[in-house]
Chains A and B, each alone.
Chain A
């Protein structure tokens, strides 16, 4: 170990962030929807890699399987049932650009007093619930993300399940109508 983690982690984060920005630019510019969907898959994998560097291993696993896996499959399925090429038609440029610039300005102003990257003395670590200390005595679970997800914020997860259930019902309802339309 000649290079310390304190030096290496910010550099890897920096490189991955820049790659993410480049791919996002490509997604905005490219017209072929097939290429865009594949780029979105690559983007999700990069995001998952970044989450590993940021010590969010559970999120990285979910992003790699759900973001890069399932959503790419869903997009490809939708492309198979629709068009692969985006129309080049007249582009609205001014209004979206204006909205984007104003939003960017507000965000830059709003994020200007965020704490430093990776420092331990920011409010998120010094104040608030100390799940890291409470997890083992109270729940006996070593993976604190699991204990917060299933125990401390169990209702959150219940709500999430309800949302996924509702979405599934919605998709089924949409395609059930389609089948009856085909018959009639």
Chain B
């Protein structure tokens, strides 16, 4: 018990931060737009973790009231994250629809190639 406590404190914080930073890194570093959306999903789910972790009481149970149980997890973070998951799928669907449209307009979903193509069009127009 004494050995696991500091370890779990380190792991919960460390992994939450790692997931958040990994998602952020993918969003900035990768030019592929589908990969960017994957990174955004990683980032989002780290926030889910950040909210759900403090609601837990060790030895408790899910917040469904029953005379057989005394200790329950706090229900409020669960409600907030339920909303966040559903909103997340909405934004993801919109993002992927945009990616598909970009692919049809530019023939690629790589950020660098799209920027290069835009520059080429601009130079052509100027000449």
Contact = CB atoms under 8 A, between A and B. Distances in A.
Given A108-B17, A124-B74, A144-B64, A81 B49 contact: no
Contact of A104 (B9, B12, B17, B77): B17
Interface residues of B, number: 86
A17 B38 CA distance: 19
Contact of A171 (B11, B73, B97): B97
B18 A24 contact: yes
Nearest to A120: B57
Instruction: From B53, B59, B82, B94, name the one whose CB has the most chain A CB atoms within 10 angstroms.
Output: B82
Contact of B110 (A87, A116, A124, A132): A87
A184 interface: no
Chain A interface main SS type = helix
Contacts, number: 286
Contact of B100 (A25, A78, A157): A78
B101 A174 contact: yes
A118 B13 contact: no
B120 interface: no
Contact of A17 (B11, B21, B63): B11
Given A14-B11, A117-B8, A118-B56, A62 B82 contact: yes
Interface size for chain A: under 10, 10 to 19, 20 to 34, or 35 or more residues?
35 or more
Contacts of A71: 41, 88-89, 92
B104 interface: yes
A24 B42 CA distance: 7
A149 B9 CA distance: 30
B58 A119 contact: yes
Interface of B: 1, 4-5, 7-9, 11-13, 15-26, 28-32, 34-35, 37-38, 41-42, 45, 48-49, 52-66, 71-83, 85-94, 96-101, 103-104, 108-110, 112-113
14 contacts: A13-B11, A17-B11, A21-B18, A24-B18, A33-B32, A50-B49, A56-B55, A59-B48, A66-B85, A75-B38, A95-B28, A120-B71, A163-B90, A171-B93
